[in-house]
């Protein structure tokens, strides 16, 4: 069932993607052994297409929330660090701020 949930993250609907990201965080809390699969799916939003570019930015914000939630377990992963770094220049001010705060908290 996890694959079905994660597939919604890179679907084209903002609301469904946001809900899937939230569910993925709950799953990661309960099943840390699935973290690799969850992070890979979440970071795929970087190349996903949504209704509008702004919708994509909102979804990226949800992924940053997920990463914050999982930060102790993911902060050292190069792909996570790179994703957060790229989002520091996101055109959505809130997303750029979220990324900057995450990057500053990196160990």
Comparing 76 with 107, the larger pLDDT belongs to 76
Distance CA 39, CA 70 (A): 10
Q: Tell the residue number behind the tokens 């160990």, with chain if given.
A: 107
- Residue 45 has a pLDDT of 96
The band of 105, judged by pLDDT with boundaries at 50, 70 and 90, is: confident
- Mean pLDDT for 88-104 is 96
SS3 readout for the chain: CHHHHHHHHHCCCHHHHHHHHHHHHHHHHHCHHHHHHHHHHHHHHHHCCCCCHHHHHHHHHHHHHHHHHHHHHHCCCHHHHHHHHHHCCCCCHHHHHHHHHHHHCCC
**pLDDT band for position 107 (50/70/90)?**
very low
Instruction: Quickly state the pLDDT bin for 106 (edges 50, 70, 90).
Output: low
What tens digit of pLDDT does each residue of 5-59 get?
999 999 889 999 999 999 999 999 999 999 999 999 999 999 999 999 999 999 9
Q: Is the Cβ–Cβ distance between 87 and 98 less than 8 Å?
A: yes
Whole-angstrom distance, CA of residue 51 vs CA of residue 43:
18
For residue 53, report the phi and psi dihedrals to the nearest 5 degrees. -60, -35
């Amino acid at each position: 069932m996890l694959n079905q949930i994660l597939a919604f993250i890179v679907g084209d609907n903002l609301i469904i993607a946001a809900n899937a990201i939230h569910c993925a965080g709950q799953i990661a809390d309960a099943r840390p052994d699935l973290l690799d699969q969850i992070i890979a799916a979440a970071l795929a939003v970087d190349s996903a297409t949504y209704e509008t570019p702004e919708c994509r930015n909102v979804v990226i914000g949800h992924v940053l929330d997920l990463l914050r939630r999982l930060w102790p377990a993911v902060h050292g992963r190069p792909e996570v660090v790179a994703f957060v770094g790229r989002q520091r220049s996101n055109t959505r001010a809130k997303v750029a701020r979220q990324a900057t705060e995450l990057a500053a908290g990196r160990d």
